[in-house]
Structure 1
Amino acid sequence: MITILMATYNGESYLAEQIESILRQTETRWKLIIQDDCSTDRTAAVAQEFAGQYPEKIRLIRRDSPSGSAKNNFFSMLSLADTPYCMTCDQDDVWLPEKIALTLEKMRELESACGADTPLLVHTDLKVVDSRLNELSGSLLYIQDLSAKRDALHQLIVQNIVTGCTMMVNQALLARFVPIPEAQNCIMHDWWLAILAAAFGKIGFVETPTILYRQHGSNQVGAKNAHSLSYNWARFRDRAGARTVLRDTYRQAGEFLKVYRAKLDTQQVRLLDAYSGVPLYPKWKRVWVLLRYRLFKKGFKRKLAQILFV
């Protein structure tokens, strides 16, 4: 059985299409919990209509007060997952029919190899589409110039490769999750859970895209074309923005170290301590830390930007 957690906020335009795509899944052993974050449109009403039609499959929870972000809404829902596996779901995408089945197959493959007591996370590629589901790219990883092979701890604390709406985790990983004292230091829920899996377990990847990842004006996190010259030039010119992005990764690494220090091995503690301390070092030592622990993003342009703006 799989618990699907969907965080919603003012998503009435696409919510019905997303829920219908879940109902069409070839794997039917799932339940959907929708938690609405005090929407001001008809999102909760749309969700309630489906919950009324499928009471054995769909449940709606309405928050009494806003969580402040999709990240916080998702984190507050993790304790609701009481089944062997849990998936997280956005409100505006479309799941392809075999999404759950393909992800579950990979999860069971990992469990056979590593044991069900090992914290495990599985994610997949996505097709990028516009608001009307016209395909923009057959692979999110390609358009963002990312590699699913970069799933080691020293790589994930610098750059995330896991998209939350494709993610499945097992109970062993959820058991490792504890409330984050300083949630503002965590960038996104999927990134945090990916780091958790890299530190204590294993990450698996399904190359087949399982989602139509809809791009529209209200996306909180969108698909940027990392191959575009205009995009790269704009990023290079925005030095303040680049430094802010790097500082966020330092803070997140420091927060993870604070939460899990007692459970990490010595090498992991040294890695996280070195990276989270980068802002305190002189320029030469910052670059030395990146080289010493191989703390680089994928691609020459990104590596160059790290060295220039570190």
Structure 2
Amino acid sequence: MPSKGAEKICVCLCTYNGEHYLDAQLQSLVQQTDQNFSVLVSDDASTDGTLKVLEAYHSQQKLPLSVRQGPRSGVTANFLSFFSEKNEQATFFAFCDQDDIWKADKLERARRWLSSVPENVPALYGSRVRLIDAEGHPFGTTVQPSKPLVFANALIQNFTSGNTMVFNRAAYELVQKSLQTQPAGLIPIHDWWVYLIVSGAGGEVYCDDYESLDYRQHASNLIGAKTGFFALRGQLDRLLGGQTQAWLGRNLQALENSIDLLSEDNRALFLSFKQARSSSFFSRLRYSLQMKVYRQGRVGQVGMLIAFILGKL
């Protein structure tokens, strides 16, 4: 456990009708080895017993917990709404889903790495996860990225589950600044945007080769994780089926709105990729031969190149 003078972590927990799984997640927060944190909950108008569960933890002083009303515009808007807070007492910030189960040392490990980065450098920590089904039975794990976690990867792929992400104040304030230029609803996925803007500004990004939480997969997941064949099939379906293309188009528009936040090299990479993406078939083919953006994993990389050449990216 850190000393009383250690920097506080703000755990940003989004809830919406999460009564069934929420208690297990809150209990895993109670058991954290690093106890220098507070929990800020943004509830998106739950109609089940979610608020009662939260009130019980607050009234019994099990957690330093406060609840506010969410924007009622979906999960991405709910998570991004945390950046409208000043949170002046927190140095680090952690995304938290309502239905996972954190390992006891999750915050401790994240703090250790983030504290090694100069405080003025935007820094983003993530990790691998263990996948569990609705009943809590494990069935797989996510893989460790094999290539550098930089803007060239972020342009085309999110690097890890957002529920593992912990970041420092420099990253928090950078994302705050980026959101001031965006119209409501433009950014498709909150954690992908954090990866994009932190890496795009030249910040540090790290994925811990450690399963820091149990990531629950069930019918209510908006974006889940898969393993093996189904993971590869999901990647290719999104690439060739147009979903990635739609998300990417919105990300590129948002990046254009925040282009002044990108480093000089990353600004040039962004502009060249954006131009090539909308060019002719033969121009895309030529660009693909020296393409600098990439996905993690060989199959994902090949799928990306095919989708790009065919104009589906």
| Cα drift, residue 273 of structure 1 | 1.6
Determine the structure 2 residue equivalent to 1:188: 189
Residues 300/120 of structure 1: CA separation in 2 closer, same or farther (3 Å cut): closer
**Aligned-partner Cα distance in 1 for 2:234–2:167:** 36
Distance change (3 Å), C-alpha of 1:54 and 1:233:
closer
For 1:126, which of 117, 125, 129 is the aligned residue?
129
Aligned to 2:311: none
Paired residue total = 295
Q: Quick one: which amino acid aligns to residue 272 of structure 2?
A: A
How far, CA to CA, are the matches of 1:233 and 1:77 in structure 2? 33
Gaps of 5+ in 1: none
Q: Give the 3 Å change call, closer, same or farther, for CA 50–288 of structure 1 in structure 2.
A: farther
Asked if the contact 1:297/1:303 (under 8 Å) is kept, the reply is: yes
Question: Does the CA contact (< 8 Å) of 1:257 and 1:269 recur in 2?
Answer: no
CA–CA distance in structure 2, aligned partners of residues 292 and 61 of structure 1: 48
The one-character-per-residue Cα deviations of 1:251-293 (angstroms, maximum 9, x if unpaired) are 313311321x223333222211222334421112223334434
More helix by share: 1
Q: Deviations 1:56-76 (Å, cap 9, x if unpaired)?
A: 70111123x51x211110111
Q: 1:183/1:125 Cα in 2 relative to 1: closer, same or farther (>3 Å)?
A: farther
Q: Distance in 1 between matches of 2:197 and 2:111?
A: 20
Q: Partner residue of 1:273?
A: 271
Conserved 8 A contact 1:215-1:223: yes
Residue from 147, 165, 169 that aligns with 2:167: 169
Distance 1:295 1:23, change over 3 A: same
Moved more, 6-15 or 78-87: 78-87
- Match of 2:131, as an amino acid? V
Q: How far 1:31 sits from its partner (Å)?
A: 0.2
Aligned-CA RMSD value: 2.3
Secondary structure of 1:219's counterpart equals coil
Are 1:19 and 2:20 counterparts?
no
State, as a whole percentage, how many aligned pairs show the same letter.
22
1:53 maps to 2:53: no
Separation in 1, partners of 2:266, 2:74: 29
Match for residue 79 of structure 1?
84
AA in 2 matched with 1:188 = I
The DSSP-based 3-state class of the residue aligned with 1:209 is: strand
Q: Is the 8 A contact 1:125 1:210 kept in 2?
A: yes
Partner of 2:306: 308
What per-residue deviation string (whole Å, max 9, x for no partner) do you get for residues 203-245 of structure 1? Answer: 12221211011111111111122x31x6655765x58853331
The Cα shift of 1:161 comes to 0.9
Per-residue displacement from partner, 1:158-208 (whole Å, max 9, x unpaired)? 111132111111111111122251354423111111112212211122212
Distance in 1 separating the partners of 2:29 and 2:234: 38
| Paired AA for residue 296 in structure 2 | K
Shift, 1:48, TM fit:
1.9
How does the TM-score come out when normalised to structure 1?
A: 0.87
Aligned counterpart, 2:101: 94
Q: Following superposition, which runs of at least 4 residues in structure 1 exceed 6 angstroms of deviation? A: none
Distance 1:9 1:296 in 2: 34
| Residue matched to 1:224 | 226
The aligned residue for residue 282 of structure 1 is 280
Within 1, Cα distance between the matches of 2:64 and 2:205?
Answer: 28
Please give the alpha-carbon distance, in whole angstroms, between the structure 2 residues aligned to 1:234 and 1:169: 28
* Equivalent pair of 1:250/1:278 in contact (CA under 8 Å): no
Which position in structure 1 is the counterpart of 2:75?
70
Alpha-carbon displacement from aligned partner over 1:92-112 (angstroms, at most 9, x marks no partner): 000111111111111112x2x
Task: Report deviation, 1:306.
Answer: 2.5
Q: CA distance change for structure 1 residues 254 and 274 in 2, over 3 Å: closer, same or farther?
A: farther
| In 1, Cα distance between equivalents of 2:235 and 2:33 | 41
Task: State whether residues 39 and 63 of structure 2, in contact with CA within 8 Å, keep that contact through their aligned partners in structure 1.
Answer: no
Q: Distance in 1 between matches of 2:34 and 2:301?
A: 41
**Residue number in structure 2 paired with 1:252:** 251
Alpha-carbon separation, structure 2, partners of 1:134 and 1:58: 29
**TM-score, with structure 2 as normaliser:** 0.86
| Letter matched to residue 129 of structure 2 | L
